[in-house]
Amino acid sequence: MKKIILQLVLAFTAFLAQAQTQTTTLKAGDTAPDFKLKNVDNKEVSFESFPKAKGYIVVFTCNTCPYAVAYEQRIMELDKKFKPQGYPVIAINPNDPEASKADSFDKMQELAKSKKYSFPYLFDQGQLITDQYGAKHTPHLFIVSKTAKGNVVEYVGAIDNDPEGTKTEKTKYAEDVIAALKSNQKPTVTATKEIGCTVKRKAKA
């Protein structure tokens, strides 16, 4: 009997630990939390680092996930195309380096340098911002508008409908959203299912 009770206690403890890591993902209309995170150049970056921005393309991505790797060039192209139009990319690595060694800050620096990233690549120490946004996968995209009422989420989900990078014709969700915002219109699509690897968290003690 004592053994059964112990097993039940352990199972319930494991359930609580899992529940604590389950966060609600932001949706269109929510306020986008600001942050101040260390960039690969060792400088802190926040929304205020882009005073002339009209909005932001916030993408939770990493070094290691095959889907993140497949989207890397497309993320670089988003920044190249839309930063001059007022929508810079801000990339955030949500993975805990104890759970994913190749996603350490040093490895982030190496990748950003080798690929010549034109956008910040930020380290989310303790996964606080990851949890505030409710980012679940890599990549996970949040497009944010700068408004008189603050920073507002306009779209959450996938960059496009081609996670494998094999389609010749794509539905470019991110680009469509920004095109609508630039025309002072609300996007017709505000949420899609993000496809990627789950955020890596260190094991509970």
Structural domain contains residue 97: yes
Using an 8 Å Cβ cutoff, are 106 and 162 in contact?
A: no
Structure tokens at 153: 């989420």
| 173-182 helix and 66-82 helix, angle to the nearest 10 degrees | 20
Q: Which residues contact 96 (CB under 8 A, 6 or more apart)?
A: 103, 127, 200, 201, 202
Closest CA to 47 of 26, 62, 33: 33
Q: What is the pLDDT of residue 12?
A: 39
Structural domain contains residue 180:
yes
Tell me how far apart the alpha carbons of residues 63 and 100 are, in angstroms, rounded to a whole number.
10
Does residue 93 sit within a domain? yes
Q: Is residue 125 part of a domain?
A: yes
Adjacency order of strands within the sheet including 55-60: 44-45, 37-39, 121-123, 89-93, 55-60, 140-147, 150-157
> What DSSP string describes 11-80?
HHHHHHHHHHH--PPP-TTSBPPP--EEETTS-EE-GGG-TT-SEEEEEE--SS-HHHHHHHHHHHHHHH
C-alpha span between 94 and 127 (Å, rounded): 6
Alpha-carbon distance 140 to 191, whole Å?
A: 11
DSSP string for 138-173: ESEEEEEEEETTEEEEEEEE-SSS-TTS--SS---H
How many structural domains compose the chain?
A: 1
Residue 36: domain span: 24-198
Determine, yes or no, domain membership for 33.
yes
> What does the pLDDT read at residue 205?
56
Residue 5 domain-assigned? Answer: no
Q: Rounded to whole angstroms, what are the CA distances from 43 to 49, 60, 77, 121, 132? A: 10, 19, 23, 11, 22
Query: What's the pLDDT score for residue 174?
Result: 98
pLDDT < 50 positions in the chain: 2-21
CATH number of residue 133's parent domain? 3.40.30.10
Q: What is the distance between the alpha carbons of residues 139 and 58, in angstroms, rounded to a whole number?
A: 10
